Structure 1
Amino acid sequence: MTGIVLTVTATNGNRVPDGLRIFINRDPSMRGIGRAEWEPGEIRAGELGTTLDVLAIVVSGALGIPGAIDVVNRWCRSRGTTSTVKIVVGDKSVTVEGTSDPAEIKQLAETLKAAVTP
């Protein structure tokens, strides 16, 4: 994969529903920003090579991070208050809970952009 990879999991570390990948790939605002695809997750301790796939959102650059977070946020909001996801870039992570506050989306994006900005 080329670009910046945002790894998306449920807040408990499990795989997010495939509906999120579909939602991201169908959202018109993601065109030109990036794409979502499944990639193998890390092997967990005590398991014999079985892993859960994780959702990876690949964006072309740091400027695509806010748009990707906004799309994930809209999916969480459409699913109700129980849908939260964790997005990780490098050593930074944020939790997306379906907020309606644009300032919060901006802060989440700034946190993740710090992981890719030298």
Structure 2
Amino acid sequence: MSTVSDVASAALLLTGALFCLLTAVGVLRFPDAVCRLHAAAKAQTLGLLLILLGAALQLPLRYAVPLVLVALFQLLTVPVTTQVVGRTAYRTSSLHTPSLVEDELAHRIPPEERAPSAEG
């Protein structure tokens, strides 16, 4: 049983670390804040949850509560943070507009409430 949990834990830890590495690459490569938010929010959260699950397989049961609290804190704070950062990026016009497929905030935030675009 120990070998099976060790292999499963190693697989979860390595997969989580890979997602965290891909997050870092995405944050460096994507052109603007909104695109970077997708990498930071989605892949980083999945990577952290996989790492926590892999750690949970190796740790005694008494550490389950702190691990669950870390996971819940991550799941509750990341959507709020990305929403605030995304709205701020939109209002300051620090977007890479060619990458937008549809501007869903155009009817909610008039152009006069946004900063002038840096793209000209």
Q: TM-score range by the shorter chain?
A: 0.3 to 0.5
Q: TM-score, normalised by structure 2?
A: 0.33
Q: TM-score, normalised by structure 1?
A: 0.33
Higher strand share: 1
Higher Rg of the two aligned structures? 2
